[in-house]
């Protein structure tokens, strides 16, 4: 049996402060495929942790039966630093409260960091080229001397993830339907994952602008390909951010459903020797640039006119913003209208809004001029 729990104590940034990170491994160490999975990088997003809570016994039992055909590395709650950031009874798990930086932003652009190490060493053997890149990244990570607790955590995470063939980062939105973020060149290869999750949308972008974790490895291989066009360098990491509904959607029933979807995805890939349940076809990929992030233009209280999944037309009222100051304070309502045709993917649960705050995401089919080539994320 290979199923094993691991832990590492990470030194904190204050004297005497430490935190412990836990993770699990299972499956043959010499397996052809490595799967890396993590949840709660945004530490206030727990649906993924609940899903892994139900998945781990399934992995353990499959391992005990000799059914695992891949090496699994699983971090059920990958950000213990964010778990500890509570202020005035409120959990601030999305941001490093010392720097204000989103925990899922500014992950490293690896190829420039290893370019000198790999240049001139590629061959016509694709497998050896991938091994070369992974070895160079591993060498780079091993040479780092992180200073802060967050830097130490990131280095440990990337050390475990950098040589994986499948990388799944489990998140959730505020109040949302299930969806996936991934790279366009990984579709339709990951359509089976979308089908198993039964997502409402798969949103694709090469670079969403924030240096998100799921973009690190695709950008590594993509930049290597473009810098070395005469050599075979496959896109050798299927990575995706899995958005499991909203923050409040944390129940045993939902977690079991999500765990079964993940298990069936791995079984369908032949990574677990088990019969996978049939899956219905989910919608195909949509460019993330075709999704409107609708933002408020003034402060006030939101009164929504729509529900998740509703189809809307450009100009339809998504919500009214109730004024809280001025001559018609608490009486006037200003409509906030959709800027595209599509369906409502997400809303916000906190109804007091401010200028520039995201109010909803509307998934359309046409790339929006305001979104093309820009920063695509909400924050």
CATH (domain of 352):
2.40.50.100
Count CB atoms within 10 A of the CB of residue 17: 11
Does residue 21 share a domain with residue 139? Answer: yes
Q: Is residue 379 part of a domain?
A: no
Task: Specify if 375 maps to a domain.
Answer: no
Indicate the SS3 state at residue 133. helix
Structure letter (DSSP) for residue 272? B
Q: Is 88 exposed, middle or buried (0-12, 13-18, 19+ CB in 10 A)?
A: exposed
Measured CA to CA, the distance from residue 353 to residue 333 in angstroms comes to 13
**pLDDT at site 373:** 80
128-153 exposure pattern, b = at least 16 Cβ within 10 A, e = fewer: ebbebbbebbeebbeeeeeeebbebb
| pLDDT value at residue 374 | 82
Residue 180 near residue 193, CB atoms below 8 Å: yes
245 and 326 part of one domain: no
Residues 238, 295 within the same domain? no
374 in any annotated domain: no
- Whether residues 150 and 171 share a domain: the answer is yes
pLDDT of residue 277: 85
3-state secondary structure of 321: strand
Give the model confidence (pLDDT) of 98-131 as tens digits. Answer: 899 999 999 999 999 999 999 999 999 999 999 9
* For range 278-282, the mean pLDDT: 93
Query: Looking at the predicted structure, is the pLDDT value of residue 379 above 90?
Result: no
Same domain assignment for residues 225 and 331: no
* Helix runs in the chain, H state only: 47-64, 80-83, 110-118, 126-143, 149-161, 191-197, 216-227, 252-268
Mean pLDDT of all residues in 224-251 = 98
Asked if the structure places residue 108 within a domain, the reply is: yes
Domain that holds residue 273: 4-283
The token pair that represents 264 in the structure block: 């069936």
Q: Hey, which residues does 180 pair with through a beta bridge?
A: 202, 242
Coil/strand/helix, residue 87: strand
Q: On the CB side of 193, how many CA atoms lie within 13 Å of its CA?
A: 26
Predicted confidence at residue 367, as pLDDT, reads 96
Model confidence band, residue 137 (pLDDT cutoffs 50, 70, 90): very high
Last residue of a domain, one of 283, 318, 344: 283
Instruction: Please indicate, yes or no, if residue 371 is contained in any of the structural domains.
Output: no
pLDDT tens figures, 283-342: 999 999 999 999 999 999 999 999 999 999 999 999 999 999 999 999 999 999 999 999
Q: What phi and psi values does residue 357 have, to the nearest 5 degrees?
A: -80, 140
Considering the chain, what is the average pLDDT of its residues? Answer: 97
Neighbour-count burial of 63, counting CB atoms closer than 10 A to its CB (0-12 exposed, 13-18 middle, 19+ buried): buried
- Picking from 233, 248, 283, the residue at the C-terminal end of a domain is 283
CATH of the domain at 178: 3.40.630.10
């Amino acid at each position: 049996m290979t199923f094993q729990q691991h832990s590492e104590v990470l030194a904190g940034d204050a004297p005497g402060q430490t935190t412990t990170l836990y993770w699990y491994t299972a499956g043959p160490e010499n397996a052809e495929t490595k799967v890396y999975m993590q949840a709660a990088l945004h530490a206030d997003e727990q649906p993924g942790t609940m899903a892994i809570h139900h998945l781990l016994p399934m992995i353990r039992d499959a391992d005990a039966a000799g059914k695992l055909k891949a090496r699994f590395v699983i971090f059920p709650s990958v950000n213990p630093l964010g778990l500890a950031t509570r202020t005035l009874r409120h959990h601030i798990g999305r941001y490093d409260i010392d720097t204000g930086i989103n925990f899922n932003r500014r992950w490293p652009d690896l190829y420039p960091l290893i370019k000198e190490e790999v240049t001139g060493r590629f061959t016509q053997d694709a497998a050896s080229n991938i091994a070369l890149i992974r070895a160079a990244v591993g060498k780079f990570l091993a040479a780092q001397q992180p200073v802060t607790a967050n830097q130490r955590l990131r280095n440990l995470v990337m050390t475990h993830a950098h040589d994986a063939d499948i990388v799944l980062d489990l998140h959730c939105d505020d109040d949302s339907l299930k969806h996936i973020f991934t790279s366009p060149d990984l579709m339709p290869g990951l359509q089976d994952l979308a089908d198993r999750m039964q997502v409402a949308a798969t949103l694709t972008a090469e670079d969403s602008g924030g240096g998100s974790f799921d973009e690190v490895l695709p950008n590594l291989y993509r930049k290597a390909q473009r810098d070395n066009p005469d050599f075979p360098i496959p896109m050798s990491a299927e990575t995706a951010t899995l958005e499991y509904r909203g923050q409040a959607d944390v129940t045993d029933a939902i977690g079991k459903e999500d765990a079964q979807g993940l298990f069936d995805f791995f079984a369908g890939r032949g990574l677990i020797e088990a019969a996978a349940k049939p899956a219905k076809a989910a919608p195909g990929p949509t460019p993330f640039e075709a999704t409107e992030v609708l933002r408020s233009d003034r402060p006030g209280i939101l009164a929504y006119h729509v529900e998740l999944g509703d189809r809307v037309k450009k100009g339809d009222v998504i919500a009214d913003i109730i004024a809280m100051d001025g001559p018609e304070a608490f009486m006037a309502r200003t409509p906030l209208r959709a800027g595209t045709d599509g369906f409502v993917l997400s809303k916000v649960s906190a109804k007091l809004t401010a200028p520039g705050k995201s109010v909803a995401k509307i998934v359309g089919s046409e790339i929006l001029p305001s979104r093309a080539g820009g920063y695509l994320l909400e924050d």
